[in-house]
Amino acid sequence: MNRRQFLHLGTAATAFTVLRPRAAEVLDLKKRVGLIGTGWYGKCDLLRLIQVAPVEVVSLCDVDRKMVAEAADLVATRQVSRKKPRTYGDYREMLKEKDLDLVLIGTPDHWHALTMIEAVKAGADVWVQKPTSVDIVESQAMLATARKHGRVVQVGTQRRSTPHLIEARNDLIQAGRLGKISHVEICCYWHMRAKGNPPDIAPPEHLDYELWTGPAPMRPFTTWTHPRGWRAFMEYGNGIVGDMCIHMLDMVRWMLDLGWPRSVASAGGILVDTASKANITDTQVATFDFGTLPVVWTHRTWGSSPDPKYPWSATFYGDKGTLKASVFGYDFTPVGDGKAAHGEPLYEYDKYPEDQTEKDLEKHCASAIRGHMKDLLAATVSRGRPVADIEQGCISTIACILANLSQKLGRGLVWDPAQGQVRGDAEANQLLQRAYRAPWVHPTPLTV
């Protein structure tokens, strides 16, 4: 491809992204699909994809034999063909077939990088859950792999596809109803940090704990470890900042068209619940400095929320009004005598009645996941960038990792996106890549 062809394709892709056509060929794509990680959100994502396109789910992979078998039975009842997918315990065996058009990744965070990179190398387009990675070099390697192989990668930051938030972005922020926005607060006040001290026990027989652990340090197994409780430990993720802040920060970046923060500073720690085995912070504040706009994150897993209606949210302060936005709705309060506005989540039970009975589905998020899947499918046709392209996911992820590094080091960090490093801080740069447990090899942009 020469430069003129590349630029022409880029222009066409941009137009496609802006217009977002919903042509029949997009939603009738009969793609061969595989899922790695068949737990809670892996299934939620896959079942929303099945709702919007007649895909054929041919492969499921999980290190938990019981979990993957149950997922295969469920998928057989939901997809058009009624066929039961093949099941695997090792993602490398699944990808070795090289017969998948699209791979969804719903593993714990410490597995996102390796599975996404290998799926792309196997020729698939990819949906990968947020955050993109646990360390910064992983994200850089993921972006490099996607670009090198020309694959479409959508990150599961589906606030960018949430109907009521799109409405707030278009009708309030972009329409100028807030005026000049000079401060944004993002937060999570849910009591979501695990409490207690469960004993170390043997992993269940149906779980390959060695492979589940993969490149992460080998911790003793507890009832928290699997399924879902792994977020209590920094060995597998980035704490509440990596789990919840990334959604709100990414939403703010998308709504205000922001790129990289100039600097990140954070403070906090385990300040209240010191008895718990969990090693993630229970209190943390982070400031993402975008030049003329500070975006300030706060989480507390104790006490009360300043606004019980918006415990996990973003508040945009403008000189003409204030917008509060979350997955559960939005409220705009104007300065003076302007017109207030309110938005609610879109529930589509008439089109998708299974939403009402599906186990563990966050019903208020279902339409957002479907919209995100449609956007991904459109990008696989145009070969343009999806709304939550891997680059955007990496920016939001890396910013959150920098917040954790700042909290650990006790100082603010100035990020150089061109160099992919912290400016003038050798100690911080030593922490951009964590050690992998043998025999797993850490990917870098130069090795993918």
b (16+ CB within 10 A) / e for 349-366: eeebeebeebeebeebbb
Cα gap 368→390, rounded to integer Å: 18
Q: What is the pLDDT along the chain (448 residues), one digit of tens a residue?
A: 333 332 333 333 333 343 344 445 566 779 999 999 999 999 999 999 999 999 999 999 999 999 999 999 999 999 999 999 999 999 999 999 999 999 999 999 999 999 999 999 999 999 999 999 999 999 999 999 999 999 999 999 999 999 999 999 999 999 999 999 999 999 999 999 999 999 999 999 999 999 999 999 999 999 999 999 999 999 999 999 999 999 999 999 999 999 999 999 999 999 999 999 999 999 999 999 999 999 999 999 999 999 999 999 999 999 999 999 999 999 999 999 889 999 999 999 999 999 999 999 999 999 999 999 999 999 999 999 999 999 999 999 999 999 999 999 999 999 999 999 999 999 999 999 999 999 999 999 999 9
- Strand-pair category, 329-334 with 181-188: unpaired
SS3 117: helix
Sorted by where each begins, the domain ranges of the chain are: 3-159+360-390, 161-350+396-429
At the topology level, CATH places domain 161-350+396-429 in: Dihydrodipicolinate Reductase; domain 2 (3.30.360)
Does domain 3-159+360-390 sit in CATH 3.30.470.20?
no
Helix axes 40-52, 366-382, angle to 10 degrees: 60
Cα gap 183→181, rounded to integer Å: 6
Residue for token pair 């990008």: 379
Q: What is the DSSP letter of 324?
A: E
* Prediction pTM value: 0.94
Residue for token pair 């290190």: 63
Same fold, 3-159+360-390 and 161-350+396-429: no
Backbone angles phi, psi at 86, to 5 degrees: -65, 150
Radius of gyration of the chain (CA): 21
Residue type, 344: E
Q: Which of 108, 372, 348 is nearest to 251 (CA)?
A: 372
Contact 178, 172 (CB under 8 A): yes
- HSE-up (13 A, CA, CB side) for residue 225: 22
Residue for token pair 């965070």: 109
Cα gap 400→426, rounded to integer Å: 19
> Could you tell me the strand order of the sheet in which 153-155 lies?
86-88, 56-61, 32-36, 102-105, 125-128, 153-155
Answer left, alpha or beta for residue 142, where phi above 0 means left and psi between -120 and 50 means alpha. alpha
Cα gap 201→221, rounded to integer Å: 6
Cα gap 385→226, rounded to integer Å: 34
